[in-house]
Chain A
């Protein structure tokens, strides 16, 4: 029985840990499918975490914090679009600039407003999101198997966890079953074809970036107003990059990107679980080695373990109509 509950708690943490990755990967799919590289997922996630925590602290409502985070991230996406779509700047440079800007800005603002470098005050219970217990979770807990799955794995997560997994089929539907999705995919493959079909290439890319901003805001808010009760310095901790890797590993496709995110989440959950555990024969594994697992996995996977990832054809290229 202990083994079973171990597994259940491992899956439970996998779902939780993967959540910001899933949001970020879905956000990345929108930007990159439209032909705009988004390295700035990391910076935007950090910005969202900061704005959500601060907004919620001052306004007393986590939903308002989330709303402000969305506004902040959409603005950053627009900034990225302004530099790289309208003014045709280098997309990677624009992203790196945003990432560096946000690291400095969040630290400095936290110091100015709260007197602590890179730290916001702890949020009270009504200033943050709480775990959601699904109906009948308590009643069903003792039913074998179903009880474990329903009560121990599915129930008791933050709202963002549910939203993240619901976003995947939604993104799939939008990208592959709607005319907006057709135009989105086309604009990332051959913008000239879109232009000659009478569609505004720039408007399409801005729309995609706006959706990207909304999705990434959820990832940040999850970090600072749900799993944690405050913002701390560089709390996104590379998740934006990891999500980008998952998206590439998932070939810019929501379903496979989800699988990749879960895989990364699982290795992370596993490494937390393995810390301080005495394994037979080997003994205790040094914690640094275990913590490296997700990153080693990323490198191995991206080094061609899963075959060639074919990026959207026009990715990274600003659209220039006149010669």
Chain B
């Protein structure tokens, strides 16, 4: 008989008018990996922050091992054996691993005996779970994957029996995800209980024993993972049936609209990150650029969109040379020639998140008809346009006056996409279009991209999600260490084959 280690009864939480958690009931059994799945904004993170004591519930009970407890702060949760690895790591970047882990649990006023003991205990923990962390390295020198391990080690050191992970794979490479899952499985074997918050179905199916589904602040279902499948879970999450596989016709390609010859690009530290790259994209074609993060895709996209200087090589748009080392068009001139860009980092480059939605919806086109006349913005026309386009692209909520940072990731992406696609560009550069975006929005964004293609646009799709590359692209190139290491038609290629190319093995 398995016993629940954590029970939630009728948890309610509101932020102002937003009812983030409505009468949530949840039982988590000891020694299991329990998935909580739901779209962005479904209330998963809020619920777990309540369990971790970071937020206080407006009403409801929390029980651990059958005993009701009162969680007023993270300290209470930690004492009760709850640990949490947050989506944004809670680490002090200029501290060492050791300093971060003992923070708040120093056990002494002046560092001495306990510090030595902590070092020994941590080394043992590292060995037990094969974490392979150097306690003296500074956080800012560590890769994202290692930082996450530090977070896990931190929770374990503080005596966590229940470990909550909030979207742990969003920032990891496929290899790092494998490593993480290995660690989580070994934690389970040692009797720890793991709660995995995610919106990725594949992770639920791969890793969990049980799964709970949340939608719009409510718990809509519980089941054993072996009794369900991806399609069923997706339907529960979104509340309607979802096409996990995209239906699309074969492409009808025309002339070459965008061409890159022998392009090399340096990064800010003057290191060459893009090495003699050649690309051709035809009218009505999606070219997928696959690769592990940090292999030059970012610099390539920046150079192609006119943000970064070209070191050598040439770029052609619709048969005309637009950039080389001497002369280059800036992003605005490129835009006028029919090139649109959906940047990888939407919050840093795609949007001014403190601006209102309608401002972001016209940004870059704001000085053109019909948005302005003689340098004066035409407010009423802009709002009318914004309302229309927000409806067309299903941006929710449909309020042009809302500050952009209040929209969810998926809706922010729709704002950028609608702005760029509205001008009917000939060439579209898209970076990570669905990173951090929920399933419903992913489906929508993918359909829009296919529509653009069918209308004759040449699209370059840069993504680290292999599934996305495979479901959208007509042709796939793989980038590794700044070079294009392979090109395949999408008809007869497997993800295994691409994975090897991405790892630089072939």
Using a CB–CB distance below 8 Å, which chain A residues touch chain B? 177-180, 182-183, 185-186, 189-190, 192-200, 313, 321-323
CB distance from B14 to the nearest CB of A (A): 11
Task: Report B72-88 CB contacts with A as 1/0, cut-off 8 Å.
Answer: 01111010000010101
Can you list 22 A-B pairs, Cβ within 8 angstroms, ordered by A?
A177-B111, A179-B102, A179-B106, A182-B103, A182-B106, A183-B103, A189-B93, A189-B95, A190-B93, A192-B86, A193-B90, A193-B92, A194-B104, A196-B52, A196-B86, A197-B90, A197-B104, A198-B75, A198-B76, A198-B78, A199-B75, A313-B93
Task: Report B86-117 CB contacts with A as 1/0, cut-off 8 Å.
Answer: 10101111110001101111101111000000
* A198 CB contact (under 8 Å) in B74, B88, B94: B74
| Residue of A198, A200, A321 contacting most chain B CB atoms (<10 Å) | A198
Given A179-B111, A196-B52: A189 in contact with B94 (beta carbons within 8 A) = yes
Given A179-B111, A183-B103, A190-B90: A196 in contact with B54 (beta carbons within 8 A) = yes
Give residues of chain B (394-437) contacting chain A, Cβ–Cβ below 8 Å: none
B55 at the interface (CB under 8 A from A): yes
Chain A, interface SS category = helix
**B107 to chain A: closest residue by CB:** A179
**In the bound complex, CA of A323 to CA of B41 (Å):** 13
**In the bound complex, CA of A216 to CA of B100 (Å):** 31
CB distance from B17 to the nearest CB of A (A): 13
Using a CB–CB distance below 8 Å, which chain B residues touch chain A? 15, 52, 54-55, 73-76, 78, 84, 86, 88, 90-95, 99-100, 102-106, 108-111
Given A196-B84, A197-B74, A313-B93: A321 in contact with B54 (beta carbons within 8 A) = yes
Q: For A179, what are the chain B residues with a Cβ–Cβ distance below 8 Å?
A: 102, 106, 108-111
**B112 to chain A: closest residue by CB:** A177
**B73 contacts A193, C-beta separation under 8 Å:** no
**In the bound complex, CA of A186 to CA of B96 (Å):** 11
Q: For B52, what are the chain A residues with a Cβ–Cβ distance below 8 Å?
A: 196
**B110 contacts A199, C-beta separation under 8 Å:** no
**A193 contacts B91, C-beta separation under 8 Å:** yes
* B104 CB contact (under 8 Å) in A185, A190, A199, A323: A199
**B110 contacts A177, C-beta separation under 8 Å:** yes
Q: For B95, what are the chain A residues with a Cβ–Cβ distance below 8 Å?
A: 185-186, 189
A-B CB proximity, top 9 nearest: A198-B75, A197-B104, A179-B106, A193-B90, A196-B90, A189-B92, A198-B74, A190-B92, A199-B104
CB distance from B100 to the nearest CB of A (A): 7
**A195 contacts B103, C-beta separation under 8 Å:** no
Q: For A193, what are the chain B residues with a Cβ–Cβ distance below 8 Å?
A: 90-92, 100, 103
**In the bound complex, CA of A83 to CA of B111 (Å):** 34
Q: For B103, what are the chain A residues with a Cβ–Cβ distance below 8 Å?
A: 182-183, 186, 193-194, 197, 199
**In the bound complex, CA of A193 to CA of B90 (Å):** 4
**A322 contacts B15, C-beta separation under 8 Å:** yes
**A323 contacts B84, C-beta separation under 8 Å:** no
Q: For A198, what are the chain B residues with a Cβ–Cβ distance below 8 Å?
A: 73-76, 78, 104
**In the bound complex, CA of A65 to CA of B103 (Å):** 39
Given A178-B109, A197-B104, A323-B15: A186 in contact with B54 (beta carbons within 8 A) = no
**A190 contacts B108, C-beta separation under 8 Å:** no
CB distance from B448 to the nearest CB of A (A): 29
**A182 contacts B90, C-beta separation under 8 Å:** no
* A180 CB contact (under 8 Å) in B15, B76, B109: B109
Q: For A186, what are the chain B residues with a Cβ–Cβ distance below 8 Å?
A: 92, 95, 99, 103
